[in-house]
Every structure is written in structure tokens, then in C-alpha cells.
Amino acid sequence: MCGLGAILRTDGEPIPDEWLDLIDARIAHRGPDGEGRFRDRARVATPKGTRTITVALVHRRMSRGADDVRVATVWHRGDLFDLNGLISGEGITLLSVFGISNAGIIACSGRDGTRNFAVRLTPVDVPAGDVTGDCRAGFIDLLTLLSEWGPCTYCIADLDGDGTVGPADLMIVLATWG
């Protein structure tokens, strides 16, 4: 599971589908290969009497690869990335990550179809305006930034870390474009 959202209500009211749709839209990029929802209600005894608790979960799934159940993934700015989408090795599949050094070097295992081997990934300079983690600042970063515009918590487009995606973040993307 690569994206999970939850709502817990303690007032006993049902959780509207519209709320779950908003969460689902927010985490859709975390897993295009599957999705699901779960709802439940429970009556809980408290010192002040019985109260109804309502919970709803939304999840997204990213496929782990058709030929192998393992794919090397890492977290970056709150998102899960398949490292295979970030390398240019023809016919090489990265299978698992062993560790990441303080310098950002990633040690992982790989396979070329017939043999397994160790792989060392050395980071390239990443522009400060790279919102999506593809090692360049460009149009998709701009679109992502605009889609998260306004106050937010843990937004990947909040490049200056002030809790708001706004003009300062836009300037960072534009200054590092290309």
C-alpha cells in the first residue's frame, strides 16, 4: 500500500463520500494500480455514557512489478518512489534497497534477467525546485505546486517549509527551472 488516508469521527455522524473523494484525489499519485475503501462504526463505553465512533480509510496501491514481487523503493519528501523509474539502465531491475548514506548514495540489489548483483546509485545535483523528485524542475513540478497552493501540512510543494505553498515556493521552482 503506497497511500493511506483516514477519517475518525467521534460525534457518531457518518463520514460523507465527498470527504473520502477528497482524500482519494490527494493520494491518487501514490498508487495508480489499485484502490479501496473501508468503513466501520463502533459503540464505545465512556465515563459519560456510550458514544458512536465512525472510521473510514482510503488506500492506493502501486504495483510491485509483473515479473518480480520486489521493487526498490524509497521515501522522498513524503512520497514513495520506485527507483527503477529514475534510472536509465537498459534491462536492469532494481529489487531492494539496503541503505542510504549521509551523502545520499543508495546501496541496492539489481537483476539483469539472468543474474543478481549489487548496485550503487550516486545522486546527481537536484535543483531546489524539484517538487516531484525526478531530478529537474519543470512543468510537472509547476503543476504539482499549483495543485497544492495554499496552507498545508507536509505538502511536497512546500519547498521553503513554512506550512504554505505560495509565492516563495513558486520562485524556487522558477529560479531552478530546466
pLDDT tens per residue across span 90-113: 788 888 888 777 777 788 888 887
The answer for 91, left when phi > 0, alpha when psi is -120 to 50, beta otherwise, is left
Q: Is residue 8 located within the same domain as residue 33?
A: yes
Let me know: does 38 contact 15? Beta carbons within 8 Å. Answer: no
Residue 57 and residue 8 share a domain: yes
Position 36 in a domain: yes
pLDDT at position 16 over 70: yes
8 and 44 part of one domain = yes
Q: Per-residue pLDDT tens for 42-84?
A: 888 888 888 888 888 888 776 555 444 456 777 766 667 788 8
Asked whether residue 103 is assigned to any structural domain, the reply reads yes
Number of Cβ within a 10 Å radius of residue 132: 20
CB 110 within 8 A of CB 92: yes
Please give the tally of structural domains in the chain: 3
Does residue 127 lie in a domain region? no
Range of the domain at 159: 139-175
Residue 111 shares a structural domain with residue 152: no
Integer Cα distance of 173 and 129 in angstroms? 4
pTM: predicted TM-score of the whole model, two decimal places: 0.40
Res. 1: pLDDT tops 60: no
Q: What is the mean pLDDT of residues 2-23?
A: 86
